[in-house]
Amino acid sequence: MHTDASNAELMEVPVDRIDRNPENPRLYFRPRELETLQSSIADLGIQVPINVFRRKGRYILIDGERRWRCALKLNLRTVPALVQDEPTRLTNVLLMFNIHALREQWDLLTIAVKLPEVLRLLEKELKHYPTEAEIVRKTGLTRSVIRRCKLLIDLPEMYRELLLEELAKPKSQQKLTEDFFIEMERALKTVERTMPAAFDDKNETRDVLIAKYKNETIKDLVDLRYLPKIAKAEYVSADPKAALVALKKVFSMNSFSIESAFEQTVAGAYSEKDLQSRVQQVLIRLEDIDPSELEPDVVAALKELRARISRLLRDI
């Protein structure tokens, strides 16, 4: 990213001659954030100049949209601004990402919506489709954020719109979140791969899961993580047929929860697998122990473990 901010000039710019940057992916500004900033500006003024560039006699924001909004609200005449020359489109977009995404908690979908365009512009500049490392370097986003964004980008448009509508609501009225869609997409991807017979139409399945989340049949986002576990029943020696029936039932409109499906099919098997794994870890630890160095409380714990194991094995 090349920007020439060295010629930037610090000046007082009339608030009314500033426009928001159309490339700013951020669509939603939380009222509480603005309220807090407004109080600070009312008391202390704008301490850090905003960044703008000139375009046709007006100024376009690069950095400082919240400060500008507060200045408008407070009816300030001017704001201190670093004024620079107009950057290229790619530079402008990348500036938005680098300045904002690193510093502020953006809604993920707002980044996701803009990301395909960034990739397209980068591809044009680099003459090849950008690698994940290049995207990270150019945008300042982490790999984890990029991967989560990609899950949202891959959503059919109707679900992206649904999520946008949801984000446009006041916090108290939002039911569906980006995290819900990310968890759902991850779960459905694994189910599709490991037990493809579990559903026929992915959108219908999404609709059912959304409805069940809204009516609280799915109480917690984490419940969605049980879906891949049920689909992988065979890996823990559980009955895959029962798992398939349970998944089909979960993916139908009823009051059957993911949690119940998990409990009824693979919970025991996963619990046993977990126990087995822990026992293996203990065995490895025991191999390394020098009996002469054992503390009395460790000796007591091991004796208790031996007694319990003996009792357990006697009943088999």
Partner 1 sequence: MANRYKVLSKSLWKTADAAQGFLKDAHGVTSIKIEEQLADDVPRPTLHAKASDNTIICVEVQEDACYPASVERLVSRCKTAQLPVRLYVAHVEGSESPEFPQQLRQARANGVGVLSVKQSGEITILSEPLALTLADVRRLDIKRYPGKYKDRLSRAQQTYLQGDPVKGCANIHEVLEEVTRDLAKRLHKKGRIAAWQAKTPNFDKDAWYGIAYAIFNEPTFNTIFPKVQPAIWAGLIAQTKPRNEGNHPATPKARAERDRKLRTRFEEAGDNLADVIAMIKKAKI
Binding site for partner 1 (CB under 8 A): 20, 27-32, 34-35, 38-39, 42, 69-70, 72-75, 167-173
The least CB distance from residue 62 to partner 1, in Å, is 17
Which C-beta is closer to partner 1: that of 13 or that of 151? 13
- Beta carbon nearer to partner 1, 172 or 292: 172
**Contacts of residue 282, Cβ cutoff 8 Å, sequence gap at least 6:** none
Q: Which lies closer to partner 1 via its Cβ, residue 71 or residue 146?
A: 71
From the CB of 136, what's the least distance to partner 1, in Å? Answer: 29
Tokens encoding 310? 């003996």
* Shortest Å distance, C-beta 102 to partner 1: 22
Could you tell me the smallest distance in angstroms from the CB atom of residue 36 to partner 1?
Answer: 9
Residue pair 148/137 in contact (Cβ under 8 Å)? The answer is no
In angstroms, the Cα distances linking 103 to 11, 70, 92, 115, 246 are 24, 18, 17, 18, 44
CB of 174 to partner 1, least distance (A): 9
**By C-beta, is 36 or 203 nearer to partner 1?**
36
Instruction: Give the C-alpha separation, 37 to 39, whole Å.
Output: 5
What are the CA-CA distances from residue 63 to residues 86, 151, 169, 182, 303 (Å)? 13, 28, 25, 29, 65
- Rounded to whole angstroms, the Cα distance separating 241 from 260 reads 16
Is 53 exposed, middle or buried (CB count within 10 Å of its CB: 0-12, 13-18, 19+)?
Answer: buried
CB of 189 to partner 1, least distance (A): 30
Residues 6+ apart with CB under 8 A from 175: 166, 213, 214
**Residues 207-238 as b or e (16 or more Cβ within 10 Å = b):** ebbbebbeeebbeeeebbebbbbbbbbeebeb
Q: How far is the CB of 84 from partner 1 (least distance, A)?
A: 23
| Cα-based torsion angle of the residue sequence 223, 225, 227, 230 in order, rounded to the nearest 10 degrees | -100
Which one, 28 or 235, has the nearer CB to partner 1? Answer: 28
Please identify, using beta-carbon distances, which residue of 105 and 144 lies nearer to partner 1: 105
Residue number, 11 or 164, with CB nearest to partner 1: 164
